[in-house]
Amino acid sequence: MNLIIFLTSYFIIILSIFGYSLALHDILKKKINLEFEFNFLGSIFFLIFLSFLTHLFFKHNFLHNLVILFAGISLFLFFFKKYKKLVKDYSKILSLIFIILILALLSAKTHDDFPYYHFPYTFYLTQENLIIGIGNLNHGFRTLSSIFYLNSLFYLPLIEYFSFNIGQILLLGASNLILIFKLKNDFKYKRYDYIFLLTLLSFLFINSFFYRLSEHGTDRTAQILILILFVEILNLFRENIVLKIFFSKVFILLGIIISLKAFYVLYLIILIPIFYIILNKNLKNLFNDLFGNFYFYIFLSVGLFLMMNNIFNSGCILYPVSFTCISQFDWSLYKEAQQMNNWYEQWSKAGATPNFRVEDPENYIKGFNWVNNWIELYFFNKVTDFLLGVLLLIIIVFAILYSKKRNNLKIDKKVWIVYSILIFLFFEWFYNHPSLRYGGYSLIVLITLIPFSIYFSRYISKKNLKKKVVFLILLSLVIFSGRNLNRIYNEIHKYDYQFILNPTYKVDDNHFRIDILIQDLKKHHENCNKDTLTFCKDYKGIYINRKFSYYYLMKKND
């Protein structure tokens, strides 16, 4: 595959997403006049919903995906004339963002878990419709993510399975689009408060720190959206908030976050201060604003599909939380859930590395027995390096925007209710899974940047402020581009990466091992007695059966 084919497919996919965004904008504008940038993210959320729904009945093969792709392109062409000005206003910034993001997309190295289960799971979605008990084949298949379902829609002719990381690029691009237009609107209405500053710092952080796509996996993309979620929640303290629009944004962001990584379901707790703040304002029509919202039903539907697919995969509503497992199902992985929950906790608490294991894992993870070892092996130097980077970002912004003249800004004291939720989430993270990739990046950044933004917003220099902000934005994009160019240069020498002749990541037989096993299991089933409903003889420790047009699997020792 050459660079021209790869990039052409990339921009066609973006154009299709643009088409769905225009359609949602047209359908919802009378009920919810949502900003287009959020409808762009909302269209990705809608495609996630569509992917979950259709995979119950169809494999995401070329035909299935071409229908979805060309539907989006057709919608773009249909609505182009009607919204010509809107397309013009957004296409320049959107094009600039996604052109820069090409540098992240060009990569020879993928995430460490990519060949293990990210690629195999996504490829399974393109080759099969639902298989019940698929988690019995690989423990990575027990922890599904919506990014796999989204990427499976981009399995297309010519690029085939080399598009299985475009979903992360789409979400990163949509996040940047949202933050840029938030800053643009703040300049328009001259709102230079702590929310404006937090928005700017979030944009600078995302593009300076999360530049390497191979590190995104299912974790960092969710944490990028968490930053935007809290920026939006803090908007509640501004005047003239339209609840329908606010709830739409929260449902889109929270829905995608939870679907990317199941343990982020804990972030539903943020709804408590939201409703407290809203009810405290005695706002009317809350019921209609909430339950009459299109994205609320997409949010509920995606949540339902997540639970269903988790049950179909592992027999657990939320794997590896063992008490959510239904042991009566033949394919249930209740015992494995207990073991894996301890393993994840042990790993995140620095009790296991590729070259090290603690002697007594069960005792190690109890209470705070692990803290000293965690500080020695993980806090130094991973967390400290990260904190120093955040501190450097704060110093740079402070130096450029600081003014001795104090601005008289009123801060609603209820901000600290939202902040207290962050503190609670931080302690939950620290006690149960203190790894930066498991939510630590976003929590540490928000806990650090919110107080700084509140304090420093009083000392923002309004002189040439727009030019300074534009400079900071361009600087972060230069850093993003420079770091990716340096990475590509290193990959050319280390992996013989020839991005013009073959711009895609490398794939070998290991990526297809689960698909080969599935095909062998299906052939094994065909050779069994088809007149009986009893299980076939096991193949490589797996029993396979077929009922109601669905295959389902269970382990021999179950």
- In a domain, residue 16? The reply is yes
Provide the pLDDT confidence category of residue 38 given band limits of 50, 70 and 90: very high
Query: Are 146 and 196 in contact, with CB atoms under 8 Å apart?
Result: no
**What mean pLDDT is reported for the chain?**
92
Distance CA 84, CA 93 (A): 15
Specify the pLDDT at position 556: 57
Provide the pLDDT confidence category of residue 263 given band limits of 50, 70 and 90: confident
Specify the pLDDT at position 239: 75
- In a domain, residue 415? The reply is no
Both structure tokens of 207:
């593009």
Domain co-membership, 20 together with 83: yes
Share of the chain above pLDDT 90, in %: 77
Domain co-membership, 482 together with 531: no
Using alpha carbons, select from 243, 237, 178, 166 the residue that is nearest to residue 206.
Answer: 178
Domain co-membership, 188 together with 106: yes
Domain co-membership, 162 together with 197: yes
- In a domain, residue 26? The reply is yes
For residue 24, the enclosing domain spans 3-314+465-495
Flag the least confident range among 113-127, 344-358, 471-485: 344-358
Provide the pLDDT confidence category of residue 277 given band limits of 50, 70 and 90: confident
Domain co-membership, 132 together with 183: yes
- In a domain, residue 420? The reply is no
Given a cut of 80, whether residue 158 has pLDDT beyond it is: yes
- In a domain, residue 319? The reply is no
The three-class DSSP label of residue 316 is strand
Share of the chain above pLDDT 70, in %: 97
- In a domain, residue 96? The reply is yes
Specify the pLDDT at position 279: 75
Domain co-membership, 481 together with 551: no
pLDDT digits (tens, 9 = 90+) for 378-410: 999 899 999 999 999 999 999 999 998 888 888
- In a domain, residue 261? The reply is yes
Element (DSSP H or E) covering residue 298? helix 294-314
Provide the pLDDT confidence category of residue 338 given band limits of 50, 70 and 90: confident
Specify the pLDDT at position 243: 86
Provide the pLDDT confidence category of residue 558 given band limits of 50, 70 and 90: very low
Domain co-membership, 478 together with 529: no
Specify the pLDDT at position 557: 53
Domain co-membership, 297 together with 272: yes
pLDDT digits (tens, 9 = 90+) for 56-115: 999 999 999 999 999 999 999 999 999 999 999 999 999 999 999 999 999 999 998 999
Given a cut of 80, whether residue 525 has pLDDT beyond it is: yes
Main-chain phi, psi angles of 361, to 5 degrees: -60, -40
Please tell me the total count of domains within the chain.
2
pLDDT digits (tens, 9 = 90+) for 132-141: 999 999 888 9
Specify the pLDDT at position 529: 59
Rounded to 10°, the helix 3-28/166-188 angle is 50
CA-derived radius of gyration, the chain: 24
Domain co-membership, 234 together with 262: yes
Distance CA 147, CA 165 (A): 9
Residue ranges in 457-557 assigned as alpha helix (H):
465-495, 513-526
Using alpha carbons, select from 262, 313, 298, 308 the residue that is nearest to residue 124.
Answer: 313
Specify the pLDDT at position 3: 94
Domain co-membership, 483 together with 513: no
Provide the pLDDT confidence category of residue 288 given band limits of 50, 70 and 90: confident
Give Cβ neighbours of residue 278 (< 8 Å, ≥ 6 apart): 236, 243, 286
The three-class DSSP label of residue 133 is coil
Specify the pLDDT at position 32: 87
- In a domain, residue 388? The reply is no
Query: Are 417 and 274 in contact, with CB atoms under 8 Å apart?
Result: no
What are the start-end ranges of the E strands in 209-306?
Answer: none
Domain co-membership, 471 together with 538: no
Domain co-membership, 477 together with 520: no
Instruction: State the pTM of this model.
Output: 0.95
Specify the pLDDT at position 192: 93
Q: Sign of the C-alpha dihedral, residues 451, 261, 271, 203?
A: positive
Distance CA 138, CA 278 (A): 45
Which residues on adjacent β-strands are paired with residue 357? 352
